[in-house]
Structure 1
């Protein structure tokens, strides 16, 4: 510490030397600061008692004594005097204590220290009060800078390591690798919500320039944040602007309604439609779940269903009928006579979507109900099956599904 004020009278408030008074009050003031930390900051209340009364109390004492030295010499402290605070900030980062809580703790200590040394001040103490306060503010600026830098440096290292571990764990799960190949720093969850997503395009992604990339990253980040909040920890994700895969660690299978609500929240957060398929499996079943979910999302998208969350039971008939084979081709061929007349295919699909209601079908197609009747009769003549006959409906539905599966 550099002394720029040798021979200068000590700072005095209420008739007492400020530095000496603060040193004498360090033990009792430390206890009161620690009590306030545990009462006012929940993060510190959750730390082990021996850590708060040990390491944390030591830091409080160190700060008070260091500030007493600053006041005695009326000069800033040298860099090496902040090594303890830097080490403490790094340790708190490793423990996951939020930076805002740490800085709040330092500010609380400064507030209580100021109240202690300024108590009983008289108007004649104004000059010394002002200088003492100036030293306190400079000391706090230095503390905040040193502590924040050490915390963020450690956090960055930890984030890189955790990101690498999560990426390695996800790669191992997607590949179906056995547990011994998992990264040492990452433990698999007992269960995962395996989710495959198709993300709609945000309007900002259609604008020229760098805004497209920014909008895509923002969309992905908001979806990721929604999943992290649901899981209570960072979810394992591989997402780009069009969608991808997410593995959400869970201890017990969530209710399907909760997963549907999760996808709805992700869609609102990203401000885009989200189509997804999900299943809850153990780590070893992740590859098969991803493969099946991918097929479900492709099927849902191809058949024009509304966005939202789907499972196999929601598309069971479509899924089965989308399997390749001679039967699938034969079913699709049933509708081939309608291909030269696109309006007939459109009428047939709309008629089925409207539960065979000719008036609602006419409204949806913007035609007269008599036109619908005529087209239904024409469809029956061409394919030999009538949507008005209950016995023919399953084959017509199956033919439409098969046609969508293999294309016209």
Structure 2
């Protein structure tokens, strides 16, 4: 593939230099642009010397233009350094290709011994990737799955830090496997994410142990049929379904659920009595509540399918 490297760098990096010159936030944009361009240049198999020369030329031209307009010299220097470092990191590692290869079941040279696969929902993948990069290495695949070359026990606190940093509605599901078995981890995180979404679980970090009961039920046709029968009378009452889900999110704590629903304690007690009358399951019993939540989740998953 032949293209003008200098023109590419100018077009991709200009918005970052402009933001730096005016004192705006440029860090996330720099990480995203550098990774995108570095990966593209790596795929084109360009000589390192050509890339380095183009980087120097683009930095001189863009910095000069911004300084002529009264830009902040210190911020421009920081932006140029960040762009160069990010581009070269992506250029030398070929992150996207490696991630796709490992997720497809191949473990090419340069792959780690094992990976924790992370699915992302509720936030722009670019923002999540940049948050992980600030904490270490992360590989991004074309499917949007992320690969962390660390054990799950290490990945979990990293994921929680990322969720806390991004705030808002962010769901991350994780699973670890040896490099050659990463496709199994991908299927696992997709299954966990589907169950978490169906069950209306709050934003956060999830693994298979968090939905183990629901996962087992989902894979057993007889259990699914029985749950469908049990929950059918409840599904026609959106208020009762909302109440059950609020209680699940509150870990069975009625006082917390009352605040979430903005209702009186006597109101939730009456609603839960109605649920028991319709289904024969008592939402105040932890096991029955788990069964109800699973049944609702399975019904929603079936409706979407």
Counterpart check, 1:380 vs 2:276 = yes
SS in 2 for 1:230: coil
Instruction: Give the alignment partner of residue 129 of structure 2, picking from 191, 203, 224.
Output: 224
1:92 shift after superposition: 12
Instruction: Indicate the residue corresponding to 1:249 in structure 2.
Output: 149
Query: Matches of 2:205 and 2:99 in 1, distance apart?
Result: 22
Structure 2: segments with no counterpart, 5+ residues: 1-47, 61-79
Instruction: Indicate the residue corresponding to 1:337 in structure 2.
Output: 233
Contact 2:281 2:292 in 1 (8 A): no
Instruction: Give the alignment partner of residue 288 of structure 1, picking from 176, 184, 196.
Output: 184
Instruction: Give the alignment partner of residue 310 of structure 1, picking from 175, 189, 206.
Output: 206
- Rg larger for: 1
Cα deviations across residues 261-301 of structure 1 (Å, max 9, x unaligned)?
42244346656533112223221011110110111122222
Contact 2:248 2:293 in 1 (8 A): no
1:386 shift after superposition: 3.2
1:352 shift after superposition: 5.2
TM-score by length of 2: 0.59
Contact 1:274 1:307 in 2 (8 A): yes
Instruction: Give the alignment partner of residue 189 of structure 1, picking from 71, 88, 112.
Output: 112
Query: Matches of 1:353 and 1:225 in 2, distance apart?
Result: 29
Counterpart check, 1:274 vs 2:165 = no
The ranges of structure 1 where at least 4 consecutive aligned residues each deviate by more than 6 angstroms after the TM superposition are none
Counterpart check, 1:299 vs 2:195 = yes
Contact 2:248 2:289 in 1 (8 A): no
Change (3 A) 1:379 1:199: closer
CA-atom RMSD, angstroms?
3.9
Instruction: Indicate the residue corresponding to 2:223 in structure 1.
Output: 327
Query: Matches of 1:331 and 1:380 in 2, distance apart?
Result: 14
Instruction: Indicate the residue corresponding to 2:38 in structure 1.
Output: none
Change (3 A) 1:402 1:237: same
Contact 1:332 1:399 in 2 (8 A): no
Query: Matches of 1:272 and 1:347 in 2, distance apart?
Result: 22
Query: Matches of 2:91 and 2:297 in 1, distance apart?
Result: 46
TM-score by length of 1: 0.46
Query: Matches of 1:332 and 1:276 in 2, distance apart?
Result: 28
Contact 1:321 1:398 in 2 (8 A): no
Query: Matches of 1:268 and 1:360 in 2, distance apart?
Result: 21
1:401 shift after superposition: 0.7
Query: Matches of 1:342 and 1:406 in 2, distance apart?
Result: 13
